[in-house]
Chains A and B, each alone.
Chain A
Amino acid sequence: MRTILTIAKREFTTFFDSLTAYILIILFLGLTGFFTWLYGSDVFFTGQASIQPFFAIAYWTMFFFIPALTMKMIAEEKENGTIELLLTKAVTDWQVILGKFLACLALVGVALLCSLPYYFTVSWLGDVDHGAVWCGYLGILLLSAAYIGIGIFASSLTNNQIVAFLISLFIGVFFLIIFSVLANSMSGVVSQVFDYLSISTHYESITRGVIDTKDIVYFLSITGLCLLLAETVLAKRNVAE
C-alpha cells in the first residue's frame, strides 16, 4: 500500500508541477460554471435552486478532461523508457497501475472540491435537494473512475500520447452515446443489454438521487475490468513466445 501511495504521490505532484492540473481544473470550473450560471438552462433561467445542470455538463467535460489526464500515464513512460526503471524497482505491475489510477482520481477529487462553492451558493439562493447533490458528486466520482480506467487501459496500448487520447475517446464514445443509440433502435433483450451498458442510464439515476447497487457495481466493474486489461498489457512483456 505504501508503494502505491508513493507512486500516486509522484504522479500527483507531477500534475501540479507541469501546469496540467491548473489548466484542467480551470477549464473544468469554467465550463461547468458557465453552463450552471450563465447560459442555457442555468439556475436563473429555470428559477430552481438546483445544480443538475452542473452534473449534466460535468458528464461531458469529464469525457474530454480525463483522457487528457490519463493519456500520458503509461504511454509517456513507455516512450521515455522510464517504465523499465519503474518496473525494475521493488514494485508489482498492479501497484504501478493502481498508483496511477489513484493519482488521477485524486486530481478529479480536487477539481470537484473546487466546484463545491457552486453548491454552497445555490443552496444559499434557495432550497436545494441536498441528498441529490451528494449523490450527484458520488455519481461523478464513479463516472470519473470508469473513465480513468478506460484512459489508463488506452494509455497502456501505445507509446504515443495522442493515440492513447484518441483510443480512450473512442472507447468512451461507445459507453456514452453508441450503446444508448443502439438500445433505442433495437428491442427486447438486446435493447436491455445495450441500455445496461450505456453510461447515461446509470449516471442519470444516480444524479437524480437514487443510489442503486446495480449502478455502483456497473461503474466499479468497468473500472476494474479496464485496470485488469491495462495490467495484462503491461505484463505482456513477460510472455515467453
Chain B
Amino acid sequence: MNIKVENLVKKYGPQRAVDDISFEVKSGEILGFLGPNGAGKTTTMKIITCYMAPSNGDVKLGNYSIRHDAERIKKSIGYLPEHNPLYLDMPVIEYLRFSAAIQSYPKSKTPERIREMVRLCGLDKEKHKKIGELSKGYRQRVGLAQAMIHDPEVLILDEPTTGLDPNQIVEIRELIRELGKEKTVILSTHILPEVEATCDRIIIINEGKIVANGAPRELRKQLSGREISRIRIEDGSQNDVFAKLRELPSVELVDWEDATKVFVVESKKEETSRRAIFNLCVQNGWALTEMTPIERDLEDVFRNVTLG
C-alpha cells in the first residue's frame, strides 16, 4: 500500500509543527524519518495514523484518505507510538489477544498468529508475565508485536530501537528489514547509523519542513559535495606550502593543523585538486607523504541541513 502525504500542515496555536510536507512511500520501501527533537516527526506520524487531524493537507493510503476513511486506514496500519505506551497490568498474551480482537483479526487465526508474533519478537520466555514486569527491551518487543499482530500492510514505528541493548538493536533492525520487503515501513529515529543500516530512503525534516530527501548514499554525495583531502607535506616551510596551495586554481580553502605539516584542503565545487597538489609537490621537490580523502558521513549531512 502506497502512502502519499500531500501538503500536510499542523499548527499548534501560532507554531507550525508540520509545515507543508509532501512525500510518497511505496510498497516494499523502508523510509527513515530523521530530524532533531521537535522537528515534527512524531506529529507527522500521529497524523498518518489518524490520531490527530491535520490543519491542512491530506494523507492517502492507497485510495483511502485520512479525512474520510479513518476506520479503514487504521485497520491497515500497525503503529508503535513514541515512548511505547502499553497496558502494564495486562499479561503479554492477553494483551496481544486484545490487540488482535480490536483490529478485527479473524478469531480462528488469532492463537496461531500470537504464537508467530511471540516467536518473531523473541518473547517466548516472558510471555506469561504482566507487561509491567518486563524490562524496557522486552516491552519494546511487545510494542512491536502488538503493532504487527493484525498483519498490517503499513508499519509506522516511532523510534523503535530506543532502550534496547546493542544485540537487540541488531535483531530489531533485521526484523524491520525483513518486514520491509513486502510492507511499507516508516520509522523515525535520531540515531543516524540506524537509518543507514535499515532504510532505503531518508527524509530529514527540520522545523516542520523537509530539508533533504533521498537514498542514504545519494544524500551523502549530494550534500557533502566538495572534495576534501588531508595531506602531509614534509619539506618546505609551512607558510610557503600554505601560500602555494592556496594559489592552486581548483582549491577553495586550505586549513593547517598547527605545529604539524598536515593540511586540510577543500576543493571548489565539483572539481578535484589532488592531481594539482601532486604536481605542485613535484615542482617544488617536496615529499608528499600522506593524502587521505575525507568522506563526510551522514552525521555531517544531518548537521549541515538542520543547522541551516
User: Interface of A with B (CB < 8 Å)?
Assistant: 2-3, 6-7, 10, 13-14, 17-18, 80-82, 84-92, 237-241
Contact = CB atoms under 8 A, between A and B. Distances in A.
B169 interface: no
A108 to B, nearest CB: 21
B103 A89 contact: yes
B51 interface: yes
Q: Is the contact region of chain A dominated by helix, strand, or loop, or is it mixed?
A: helix
Contacts of B104: 2-3, 90
B284 interface: no
B98 interface: yes
Contacts of A3: 102, 104
Given A88-B49, A240-B11, A241-B13, A82 B87 contact: yes
Contact of B101 (A6, A14, A82, A239): A6
B246 interface: no
Contacts of A6: 98, 101-102
Contact of B99 (A89, A238, A240): A89
Interface of B: 10-13, 46, 49-56, 71, 74-75, 77, 79, 81, 83, 85-90, 94, 98-99, 101-104, 146
B98 A10 contact: yes
B107 to A, nearest CB: 10
B58 to A, nearest CB: 13
B85 A90 contact: no
A66 B80 CA distance: 33
A130 B49 CA distance: 54
Given A3-B104, A6-B98, A239 B85 contact: no
A97 to B, nearest CB: 15
Given A6-B101, A81-B85, A82-B85, A88 B56 contact: no
A115 B78 CA distance: 44
17 contacts: A6-B98, A6-B101, A10-B87, A14-B90, A18-B89, A80-B85, A80-B88, A81-B85, A82-B87, A85-B81, A87-B51, A88-B79, A89-B74, A89-B103, A240-B10, A240-B54, A241-B13
Nearest to A235: B53
Contact of A90 (B53, B71, B89): B71
A6 B10 CA distance: 33
B77 A81 contact: no
Nearest to A82: B85
Contacts of B10: 240
A84 B90 CA distance: 17
A91 to B, nearest CB: 6
B13 to A, nearest CB: 6
A11 to B, nearest CB: 10
Given A14-B89, A18-B89, A241-B11, A88 B102 contact: no
A81 B84 CA distance: 8
Contact of B85 (A10, A85, A240): A85
A228 B267 CA distance: 67
Contact of B56 (A82, A86, A238, A240): A240
B109 to A, nearest CB: 16
Contact of B102 (A80, A82, A84, A91): A91
